Chain A
Amino acid sequence: MRDIKFSKATRQAYGEVLTVLGETHPEIIVLDADLSKSTYSNYFQARYPERFINVGIAEGNMVGIAAGLAASGKQPFASSFATFLMSKGFDQMRQSIAYPNLKARFCGSHAGISIGEDGPSQMGIEDLALACALPGFTVIVPADEAAMQSLLPQVLEINGPVYIRTGRIKSAVIYEAGTVLKIGQASVVREGRQLTIATMGLMIGESLIAADLLEQEGYSVRVMDFHTLKPIDIPGIRYMAENSEAVLCVEEHLLDGGLGSIIAREVAKIRPLPMDFVGLTDYAESGTPEELLKHYGLHAVNIADTARKLLKRLRS
């Protein structure tokens, strides 16, 4: 069976890549709301203290300030935990960022239940639904360090707001260093014919293990990384729909309004297929990341179980 390597958390990769970009982009201003050591925006602060603003524990104010900076020609990158940033900054993102379509960038860290022991109040599990609800937003979930290195520089060129989701724990290494990914273009990380698992972020590693398990049972499974939820990759979905018998969406997010709901909408338009969805339906609890992923059905074994049921449904 596949030996998944775990490396740098995507939040740390974010801090590192942003700091490199700061060198050639003097218009980048980084903001944080008293979580810079956790989001790793403190790397940027250490290198460019004059272009770093800690607004205090005041996420709504931070998003508003980012709007003013963006409206004045700066390129703000504002970070906090995903839940605080998207929930507490939501109306400011709607009125002062999305509505005027400003080039402001937001990074929500500690997404999903894999943050572990801190528990539900700190877990960002609605962040993607909120960000995707906003017209004009680009929403990305880099899976690992290489994905961050490839995707974050492209964010600078996007002519509208962007939301970037990062995680707390070490990420499964999906891509080799130097891999080129494109915002808006899903990536096939494993080929297969019968079932496509459409996923992103931390769930790619679990899905790959699940795919290996299923292959041992004779199923052929493709895994696709939809690192860009918005705008969703229509040609990618067409490829998937036309070359699979069923689709399983897997996400570390609430099922309502997440990746699965977006993909289902497009699959329904292109070529309706049997589908199923692995994700969260409620607030979780404290525990180790590993325990929580198992307990809340996001482990490779759970993914394989749901996939098996879906595939059996096809045969009957």
Chain B
Amino acid sequence: MRTIIELNSLAKSIRRDIVKMIAAAGSGHPGGSLSLVEIMVALYFGDIMNHDAKDPKGKNRDRFVLSKGHAAPVLYAVLAEAGYISKDLLPTLRKLGSPLQGHPDLRKLDILEISSGSLGQGISVGIGMALAARLDHLPGKIYIAVGDGEINEGQIWEAALFAGHHHLNNLIVIVDHNGFQLDEANRKILDLNPLADKWAAFNWNVMVIDGHDMASVHGALQKAGQSAEKPTVIIAKTVKGKGVSFMENNNKFHGMAPTETELSQALAELE
């Protein structure tokens, strides 16, 4: 397996891909893509997920669901790095005819597990996959990334109640807890605290980690797959726009592409 240092340097190159592809598209969501990078890199390149780019629909695979679909750029960058899609596709993000749609689109890119973009639905979909794996006696685990704003949605908590009740220990949810949603900071709209207690009260195994510390991320994901009877939630404390100084905690970059000058500055910082 790759060392933590190697994973970190991979994370940096994924960040470069993200800002480049969003700049080329002229629109997109850098903030919530950059906050997910360590998590995605650990999942795909840290020997966490059982996956194979040569057999993307392999029956025993683990599955990844990007419930916060607007973070599609980080998913595309990781899928390209892992060899599922050509890196040449990255600059076609959001362009007419591209398989790299603004939000993940299963019809246009069939190696995806599901389409997303309307927030709040990914855990339920993941539950369906987890139940199917259980029924078919398959080993696959289901990893789902949700946003902290996204968990405002009632469906998230219906799903949480269900997964706890049904002991879906093959279900692993990662909350990208970057503190912001679209209009403002979470705490100005709906305070989520105490967040860990909420999930624990729904009978989930809960871990709270620094979502940019690769060793913690990797360690938590490794443990997550081993819970005996509960679904696991990893609350990853992250920084929106992580890695690019002027995007960090600057919610202007929730859904705005960098200009050319901003792109050069971002790339210089990500050297």
Measured CB to CB, the closest approach of chain B to A56, in angstroms, equals 4
Q: Is A37 within 8 A of B182, CB to CB?
A: yes
Q: Is A291 an interface residue (CB 8 A)?
A: yes
Contact of B103 among A36, A56, A84, A121 (CB under 8 A): A121
Of B47-55, B90-98, B204-212, B214-222, the one touching chain A: B90-98
Measured CA separation A283–B107 after assembly (Å): 10
Measured CA separation A83–B121 after assembly (Å): 14
A88 partner residues in chain B, CB cutoff 8 A: 118, 120
What DSSP secondary structure best describes chain B's contact surface?
loop
Q: Is A56 within 8 A of B190, CB to CB?
A: yes
Contact of A288 among B96, B105, B190 (CB under 8 A): B96
Contact of B149 among A37, A57, A121, A283 (CB under 8 A): A57
Contact of B189 among A34, A83, A287 (CB under 8 A): A34
Given A34-B189, A119-B105, is A286 in contact with B95 using a C-beta cutoff of 8 Å?
yes
B97 partner residues in chain A, CB cutoff 8 A: 285, 287
Q: Is B152 an interface residue (CB 8 A)?
A: yes
Q: Is A35 an interface residue (CB 8 A)?
A: yes
A292 partner residues in chain B, CB cutoff 8 A: 96
Measured CA separation A122–B98 after assembly (Å): 17
Q: Is B154 within 8 A of A285, CB to CB?
A: no
Contact count A vs B, C-beta below 8 Å: 94
Interface size of B in residues (CB-CB distance below 8 Å): 33
A260-312, CB < 8 A from B: 283, 285-288, 291-292, 295
Q: Is A121 within 8 A of B152, CB to CB?
A: no
Find the A residue at minimum CB distance from B69.
A121
Q: Is B94 within 8 A of A286, CB to CB?
A: yes
Given A54-B189, A57-B119, A121-B118, is A286 in contact with B182 using a C-beta cutoff of 8 Å?
no
Q: Is A58 an interface residue (CB 8 A)?
A: yes
Q: Is A150 an interface residue (CB 8 A)?
A: no
Q: Is B102 within 8 A of A117, CB to CB?
A: yes
Q: Is B183 an interface residue (CB 8 A)?
A: yes
Q: Is B115 an interface residue (CB 8 A)?
A: yes
Q: Is A87 an interface residue (CB 8 A)?
A: yes
B153 partner residues in chain A, CB cutoff 8 A: 57-58
Measured CA separation A88–B156 after assembly (Å): 13
Measured CB to CB, the closest approach of chain A to B159, in angstroms, equals 14
Find the B residue at minimum CB distance from A118.
B102
Find the B residue at minimum CB distance from A294.
B96
Q: Is A61 an interface residue (CB 8 A)?
A: yes
B118 partner residues in chain A, CB cutoff 8 A: 83-84, 87-88, 121
Q: Is B96 within 8 A of A291, CB to CB?
A: yes
Q: Is B27 within 8 A of A57, CB to CB?
A: no
Q: Is A121 within 8 A of B96, CB to CB?
A: no
Q: Is B267 an interface residue (CB 8 A)?
A: no
Measured CA separation A83–B103 after assembly (Å): 15
Q: Is B96 within 8 A of A286, CB to CB?
A: yes
A35 partner residues in chain B, CB cutoff 8 A: 182-183
Measured CB to CB, the closest approach of chain A to B79, in angstroms, equals 17
Q: Is A136 an interface residue (CB 8 A)?
A: no
Q: Is B25 an interface residue (CB 8 A)?
A: yes
B25 partner residues in chain A, CB cutoff 8 A: 117
Q: Is B181 an interface residue (CB 8 A)?
A: yes
Given A57-B119, A57-B150, is A119 in contact with B184 using a C-beta cutoff of 8 Å?
no
Find the B residue at minimum CB distance from A33.
B152
Q: Is A160 an interface residue (CB 8 A)?
A: no
Measured CA separation A44–B153 after assembly (Å): 24
Find the A residue at minimum CB distance from B27.
A117
B115 partner residues in chain A, CB cutoff 8 A: 121
Q: Is A57 within 8 A of B120, CB to CB?
A: yes
B181-200, CB < 8 A from A: 181-184, 189-190
- The 7 nearest A-B residue pairs measured at CB: A121-B117, A287-B96, A56-B152, A119-B102, A56-B190, A57-B152, A117-B94
Tell me the A residues contacting B by CB distance below 8 Å: 32, 34-38, 42, 54-58, 60-61, 83-84, 87-88, 116-122, 283, 285-288, 291-292, 295
27 contacts between A and B (CB under 8 A): A32-B183, A34-B189, A35-B182, A35-B183, A37-B183, A38-B182, A54-B183, A56-B190, A57-B152, A60-B154, A117-B25, A117-B26, A118-B27, A119-B102, A119-B103, A120-B103, A121-B105, A121-B116, A122-B117, A283-B107, A285-B97, A285-B101, A286-B98, A286-B101, A287-B95, A287-B96, A287-B97
